[in-house]
Structure 1
Amino acid sequence: MFDTMTITKAGGALCGALLVFLLGAWAAEELYHTGGHGKHSEQAYVIETGDDEVAEVEEEVPFEVVLASADPDRGERVFGKCRACHKLEDGANGTGPHLYGVVNRAVASEDFGYSGALSEVAEVWTPENLNGFLESPRNYAPGTSMGFAGLPDVEDRANLIAYLANIGS
């Protein structure tokens, strides 16, 4: 069937094919290499993309302006992220304290085991304090036991605060 000569021929064919492939790759690299080394390495042409222009800095709108145009109906949808731990019924605490009337309520005023970090940063849950806390609870009140990452979008925070303000009034 197979003898040593057949195996030798197959091995030689593989080595020959590899040699042809490597020589072809070397020749193609020499033919099509566009430079990058030496004194002749400057680019032959430049495509203008407009990246050299400084991007316009978007001015940050004050939170009060965003809050004034907030939509409580959209805030109700954002509250879905809070629903797992917080309840809206007065006095019905969940994993977190109830949020009924939380806007302009004293911090840690309810029957709930708050972490001391919250009372150190604010006395009243004003819309501005809620905005800072909801953006990043761990950055706003280091040491807080709230394990929520936060709401990065200022419009989501404003809509949620408008929704919570309507619930408690």
Structure 2
Amino acid sequence: MNSFELNKIAGAILGTLLFIMGVGFLAEAIYHPVEDNGPGYALPEPEVAVAGAPVDAAPAVSVGTLLASASVDRGAAAVRKCQACHNFNEGEPNKSGPYLYDIVGATKAHAEGFAYSDILNQQKAEGQVWSYENLDAFLTNPKAYAPGTKMSFAGVKSAEERADILAYLASLSSDPVPFPAPDASDAAAAGDDQASNEAPAEPASVIAPYLLDAKAERGANAVRKCQACHNFAEGEGNKSGPYLYGIVGAPKAHAEGFAYSDILQQQKAEGQVWTYDNLNAFLENPREYAPGTKMAFAGVKTPEERADILAYLQTLAAEPVPFPEVAAGQ
């Protein structure tokens, strides 16, 4: 190897070293840390709660107060999610969960033949019964109320929805358990709130948007299948089903002389009337809306056809009841 080749090798090595040193100096110049100046962004210190310090929380409302404004109709709709595991009608058997007819006031683990969890069998042995309060607690969080329960449902978080469900469960009895009285402190708090808050809006009508396009003529055609059991003209009497003239806005169990099921008679005693929305719910699934009803018809599955029928029923009155308004956003 001659001296020229050695010079090239030495020059390459020297050039590489100079390049590395130059990059190092440049990096130090750009990224040189500022001493004693802390991190570039100071993270906020977490606030430490003081033991015993007051915590703002919404006051608990008693079950009795919630039940005072609960709706059986809304409760019947809410329990649809439970029907895969439970039966609600009188005389129906257990499913993967126990039947729930006459549950309010019943002894814990009431359903004969159902394999209850140990905790509920223990509570039964202690003589515990299903009151409105402990049904409410169970519905809030089944696993917290009855550790080891076989029920996989996570619970109902809304107190108002639980009250609606309890009102519906109360209706599933020939001798319903009276609701507990509203708590006086709840009434006082409600009075204080009323001075600063507007009254809550009425629930939006489910059927109202469909009534906008409903046709009484189509409804008259649709009810032909009902004429074997019902009369529709003014002054006509009952058939195997009650007459339906003036049904919209009428009290439940309105037809004199007709032997209604227990659930409809109870709803009449509570002062309930046939609105467009509960007529819609009944037409969709009579046995679900009124467990124990004697009506054998399976129901009308499309909301459009139900709306047409309701539009026709509206015409069967000297003073037709106006359709409900469509809520904003519907």
TM range, normalised to the smaller chain? 0.5 to 0.7
Match of 1:144 in 2: 149
Which residue is 2:72 aligned to?
A: 72
Superposition map of 1:19-168 within 5 A: 57-92=57-92, 93-113=94-114, 114-121=116-123, 123-168=128-173
Unaligned runs of 5+ in 2: 1-30, 32-36, 43-53, 175-330
Provide closer, same or farther for how the CA distance between residues 138 and 36 of structure 1 changes in structure 2, counting only shifts above 3 A. same
Q: Which has the larger radius of gyration?
A: 2
Q: How high is the TM-score relative to the length of structure 2? A: 0.35
Deviation of 1:127 after TM superposition, in Å, equals: 0.6
Distance 1:116 1:55 in 2: 37
Which string of whole-angstrom CA distances, capped at 9 and with x for unpartnered residues, describes residues 79-125 of structure 1? 01211100112232111111111111111222132222114346111
CA distance in 2 between counterparts of 1:133 and 1:57 reads 22
Deviations along 1:37-88, one digit per CA (max 9) or x if unpaired, are 59xx99xxxxxxxxxxx99532221222112221111111110121110011
User: C-alpha deviations, 1:8-64, integer Å up to 9, x for none?
Assistant: xxxxxxxxxxxxxxxxxx8xxxxxxxx9759xx99xxxxxxxxxxx99532221222
Unaligned runs of 5+ in 1: 1-25, 27-34, 43-53
> What TM-score do you get using the length of structure 1 for normalisation?
0.64
Q: 1:6 maps to what in 2?
A: none
Alpha-carbon deviation of 1:154? 0.9
Q: Secondary structure at the match of 2:172?
A: helix
1:49 is matched with none
1:72–1:56 Cα change, 3 Å: same
**CA-CA distance at 1:147 after TM superposition:** 1.1
Contact 1:121/1:141, CA 8 A, preserved across alignment:
no
Contact 2:75 2:167 in 1 (8 A): yes
Counterpart of 2:140, as a letter, is E
Give SS of 1:148's match.
coil
| Cα distance in structure 2, aligned partners of 1:144 and 1:104 | 20
Residue pair 2:87, 2:95 contacting (<8 A) in 1 also = yes
Partner of 2:260: none
Contact 2:89 2:172 in 1 (8 A): no
Amino acid in structure 2 at the alignment position of 1:104: G
The Cα of 1:167 is off from its aligned counterpart by 2.0
Q: 1:84–1:65: structure 2 CA closer, same or farther, 3 Å change rule? A: same
**How far apart are the structure 2 equivalents of 1:75 and 1:161?**
7
The structure whose RCO (Cα within 8 Å, separation 6+) is larger is 1
Report how far residue 161 of structure 1 moved. Answer: 0.6
57-66 or 98-107: bigger deviation: 57-66
| Structure 2 contact 101–172 (Cα < 8 Å) conserved | yes
Q: Structure 2 vs 1, CA of residues 61 and 37 (structure 1 numbering), >3 Å: closer, same or farther? A: same
When residues 76 and 59 of structure 1 are mapped into structure 2, their CA distance, relative to the original with a 3 A threshold, is same
Is the 2:72–2:168 contact (alpha carbons within 8 Å) kept by the matching residues of 1? yes
Alignment CA distance shift 1:91-1:117 (3 Å):
farther
Q: Are the counterparts in 2 of residues 85 and 96 from structure 1 also a CA contact under 8 Å?
A: yes
Contact 2:108 2:123 survives alignment (8 Å):
no
